[in-house]
Structure 1
Amino acid sequence: MPSIRLARGRRSETDRVYSITTVVRDREPIFRDAALAAIVIDELQQLSAHGHVQHFAWVLMPEHLHWLFALRRGELGYCVQLLKGRCARAINISRCGSGSVWQPGYFDHALRSDEAVRIHARYLIANPLRAGLVDEIGDYPYQWCAWDIDAL
């Protein structure tokens, strides 16, 4: 659920495109571990397979997730909660741990035009380059985009 401050004046709308950023608790860079990154990627794919979302782009950075999608079913808060909850359970099982994996809440932004979606997708996909994790856009292993990066 977003913070009260961020949620003011916002509604969840089916077929609206959203950009979500959610952060790992204490900004621990747990997604440097390929097995933990694979858990999040699998859960993102499950949300799409079950008709909750249509992905446009996502980037799983070492300590946070940027996710661009159209909400196809349900409420935005429920969808993000579903992702974070399923990931947390699987990550805790994998690490033989318990407790919170993610910081509470998330930042959301509703996009208004097709052009804005493509611009935002390019911005997300370039995050690993700006962070110094790769030398070329598209080389980061924990990202996906619906469009050819050169076409963005």
Structure 2
Amino acid sequence: MHASHRLRIGRYSMPGQIYLVTAVCKHRRAIFHDFAAARAVVHSLHEMNHAAETLAYVVMPDHLHWLMQLGDQLDLSATVQAVKSRTTSRIRQQVGTSIDVWQKGFHDRQLRKEDDLVDMARYVVANPLRAGLVNSVREYSFWDAVWL
């Protein structure tokens, strides 16, 4: 069974549901180490405000963590694909060539009612600290959270 198909098994979209989404760069390349490429992801997330409310995110050098609440009429896979597509288009315009940015598929975790959203948001934005990229999250440019 193909890996991207296994990622979709059991996935279903529930409008209004909160998800933690992880999308990874193709071959785990550190594409978002580049400031403009990381900003392309941030802009794409902001453009999706009609589809999903961003609760927290962090753009790591080779992947994205996105804590979001899906809109009322939308599909999780289509929403994530739209972010990935918009990001890829922006980066291709920046570099002037056709570059594959993302691995196929994504990982998602549907949060349960008992999950503490503040703790989850803190977990998301603390990724650069845990990865040893910075000594404080204040030193990292590519994160945001509505509660912190």
Structure 1 segments (4+ residues) deviating >3 Å? none
SS at match of 1:20: strand
SS at match of 2:139: coil
Aligned equivalents of 1:90 and 1:114: distance in 2?
37
Look up the match of 1:126.
126
Q: Does the 8 Å contact 2:121/2:145 carry over to 1?
A: yes
The alpha carbon displacement at 1:29 in A equals: 0.8
Q: Does the 8 Å contact 1:18/1:70 carry over to 2?
A: yes
Q: Does the 8 Å contact 1:17/1:117 carry over to 2?
A: no
Which amino acid in 1 is paired with 2:95? R
SS at match of 2:15: coil
Look up the match of 1:12.
13
Look up the match of 1:90.
90
The count of aligned residue pairs is 145
Q: Percent sequence identity over matched residues?
A: 38
Look up the match of 1:113.
113
The alpha carbon displacement at 1:140 in A equals: 1.1
Look up the match of 2:52.
53
For structure 2, the residue ranges without an aligned partner over 5 or more in a row are none
Which amino acid in 1 is paired with 2:44? E
Aligned equivalents of 1:26 and 1:58: distance in 2?
21
- Residues 23-67 of structure 1: per-residue CA shift (max 9 Å, x gap): 11111111111111111111100101xx10111100000010000
- Residues 86-140 of structure 1: per-residue CA shift (max 9 Å, x gap): 1111111111111421010100100012643222111111100011111113331
When normalised by structure 1's length, the TM-score is 0.89
When normalised by structure 2's length, the TM-score is 0.91
Q: Which moved more, 1:53-62 or 1:108-117?
A: 108-117
Look up the match of 1:63.
62
Indicate how the Cα distance of structure 1 residues 123 and 76 shifts in structure 2: closer, same or farther if over 3 A, else same: same
SS at match of 2:134: coil
What is the root-mean-square deviation in Å for CA atoms of aligned residues? 1.5
Q: Does the 8 Å contact 1:56/1:70 carry over to 2?
A: yes
Q: Which moved more, 1:134-143 or 1:77-86?
A: 134-143
